[in-house]
Amino acid sequence: MPLEIGQPAPDFELKDQFGQPVRLSSFRGEKAVVVMFYPFAFSGVCTGELCEVRDNLPRFDSEDVVLLAVSCDMMFSLRAFAEKEKLEFPLLSDFWPHGAVSEAYGVFDAERGCSTRSTFIVDLDGVLRWSVHNKLPEARDLAEQLSVLEGIVA
């Protein structure tokens, strides 16, 4: 079951597509964070969503907010995915221990071995302020996420 709004976001450190560690708490007091869990690199809906994010990146990644996209794919797959789709934001690998961060956020689908399609917005204090959870074949409404995000960082 996904986490409740108003509670502290579980801290994590994952490697990005270049093998660089990224820690959620490193943004505390500096930026709000959009933690976007997605099932699989290279899949149709995930590719569409992340390319839409790429095309609107200044709204998702600015001096006030950072985007962290998380999947259970291996780092090397994420690097190939980022290069192919020209994704210039952190794609974090929750590969090993497999799905541990997704599990901590209550969005790990053990049957499929992947994250569900979920987004959490974490404020400057590290508190969960908003979330949305879609079924695997359903794309998220990114305009809604941007609207909520603008209200949080305003």
Residue 51 annotated in active site? no
Burial 58-76 (b: 16+ CB within 10 A, else e): ebbbeeebbbbbbbbbebe
Q: Which one is catalytic: 46, 51, 72, 114?
A: 46
Residue 125's nearest CA partner among 20, 30, 2, 18 is 30
Beta strands 114-115 and 117-122, pairing class: unpaired
The sign of the dihedral angle between the CA atoms of 140, 11, 108, 4 is negative
Question: Active-site positions?
Answer: 46
